[in-house]
Amino acid sequence: MDLKIYPPMPRRKDFRIGILGSGFIVNDCHLVAYRKAGFNPVAIASRQVAHARQAAQRHAIGRVHDDYDSLLNDPTIEVLDIAVPPDILVPLIVKACQRGTVKGILAQKPLGMDHKEALTAVRACEAAGIRLAVNQNMRYDHSVRAAKALLDEGVIGEPILATIEMRGIPHWQPWQARLGWATLRIMSIHHLDTFRYWFGDAERIFCSTRPDPRTKFPHSDGICTYILEFKNGLRCVGLDDTWTGPAREGCPADVYIKWRIEGRNGLAIGDIGWCKDPYTTPSSIKYAAKSHPGFQTPIWQESWFPDAFAGTMAELLCALEEDRAPVISGRDNLKTMAMVDAAYLSAEQHTAVSPETAPI
């Protein structure tokens, strides 16, 4: 069957894209994927103009702006790709809306500091007539998309239990220390959004966290476990373990991200390639059903990092062409942000919390 691992591409690929940010995620993911897809990044700005120049030279971007405001004032930019820390993200989105010159914005996740800030960004874009998409790029990992196709086609039947298990050591960003976040808003947000992508919105979340011994800055959410409860009885369980044992302190490592969906008629099992060496390792899937003897094991060459990042931008560009909201719209992402906020509240209160109380 067609697992639909490749997202639709826009007919027009020459939208003039301006990039805000020049860190790893831009240099090694966004711009690599955009060039492979044939997209058209034409300008870049960063907090440090020297970094922007380096990125421009590496990726053949024609114009380097001295600062964010200069790029925002460029009337030739049609689409903004904003990949900056979350504490400065929403003010830049609001500034872009005040200018009103761009047609669409792809914003890095998380969409601001919390649900309240995300709502500010969504309302500002809607008032300005700007399409806002959020870079929830795990939805475009090829194994994750394959699982969605299996669910949509009913291959494994009604889902009963789903799990995502991460035993991985992320590279924390310097800005996380000043915000006091480790895992929930940085890694777990991917997994919570993936559960939403696969199954829709949960009624409740129960989350328990503890600090990661390796992470030195103050935080509460180093190691995170959570259960999502759905009205139809489905349960989703996430375990995000950034410790993984003393893998960097002399113990042999066992690092992975795996997911599993068990249905009434079959099951699907995935292995995410991002945390392997190299990080461009393709993800994989195997699936089986009662009507098909043996596991099916399709393979592909593309990987989450960097190839999935073409999918998020492609979705925004398709939405602009078709005059519709992106599937990964800011308004949809409010539900992911509400789930993350509910997870923090659940961990603090030691009780299950409904994300439905957050305004949308």
The dihedral built from the CA positions of residue 239, 264, 140 and 286, taken in this order, carries a sign that is positive
CB 108 within 8 A of CB 89: yes
16-137+308-326: CATH topology is Rossmann fold (3.40.50)
Q: What share of the chain has pLDDT > 70, as a percent?
A: 99
- Other Cβ atoms closer than 10 A to 123: 15
CA distances for 323 relative to 24, 101, 104, 316, angstroms: 32, 17, 11, 10
Average pLDDT, the chain: 97
Q: Which residue's entry shows tokens 């990044």? A: 41
How many angstroms separate the CA atoms of 247 and 52, rounded?
A: 34
Helix (H, G, I), strand (E, B) or coil at 250: coil
- pLDDT at position 1 over 90: no
267 against 293, higher pLDDT: 267
Say which amino acid occupies 126: E
Q: What is the pLDDT of residue 357?
A: 72
Mean pLDDT of 40-53: 97
Kind and range of the H or E run holding 321: helix 309-322
Every domain range in the chain assigned CATH 3.40.50.720: 16-137+308-326
pLDDT tier, 359 (very low <50, low <70, confident <90, very high otherwise): low
pLDDT tier, 291 (very low <50, low <70, confident <90, very high otherwise): confident
CATH 3.30.360.10: does it fit domain 138-305+337-357? yes
Which DSSP state fits 290? T
- pLDDT at position 187 over 90: yes
The tens digit of pLDDT for each residue in 244-279 reads: 999 999 999 999 999 999 999 999 999 999 999 999
CB 284 within 8 A of CB 303: no
Q: What is the pLDDT of residue 90?
A: 98
CB 273 within 8 A of CB 259: no
Say which amino acid occupies 130: I
Every domain range in the chain assigned CATH 3.30.360.10: 138-305+337-357
Q: What share of the chain has pLDDT > 90, as a percent?
A: 97
pLDDT tier, 360 (very low <50, low <70, confident <90, very high otherwise): low
Q: What is the pLDDT of residue 292?
A: 78
The dihedral built from the CA positions of residue 263, 335, 193 and 6, taken in this order, carries a sign that is positive
Half-sphere exposure of 111 (CA within 13 A, CB side): 35
Q: Peptide bond before 86: cis, by omega within 30 degrees of 0? A: no
Kind and range of the H or E run holding 69: helix 68-72
How many angstroms separate the CA atoms of 53 and 147, rounded?
A: 40
How many angstroms separate the CA atoms of 45 and 206, rounded?
A: 40
The dihedral built from the CA positions of residue 60, 66, 68 and 69, taken in this order, carries a sign that is negative
Q: What is the pLDDT of residue 356?
A: 83
Backbone dihedral region of 38: left (phi > 0), alpha (psi from -120 to 50 degrees) or beta?
A: left
Q: Which residue's entry shows tokens 């961990």? A: 347
Q: Which residue's entry shows tokens 């399409």? A: 131
Q: Which two tokens stand for residue 342?
A: 């509910």
How many angstroms separate the CA atoms of 91 and 105, rounded?
A: 13
pLDDT tier, 293 (very low <50, low <70, confident <90, very high otherwise): confident
The tens digit of pLDDT for each residue in 72-102 reads: 999 999 999 999 999 999 999 999 999 999 9
Q: Which two tokens stand for residue 303?
A: 């990987």
Mean pLDDT of 298-305: 98
CB 144 within 8 A of CB 270: yes
CB 279 within 8 A of CB 305: yes
How many angstroms separate the CA atoms of 317 and 12, rounded?
A: 8
Q: What is the pLDDT of residue 270?
A: 98
Q: What is the pLDDT of residue 358?
A: 64
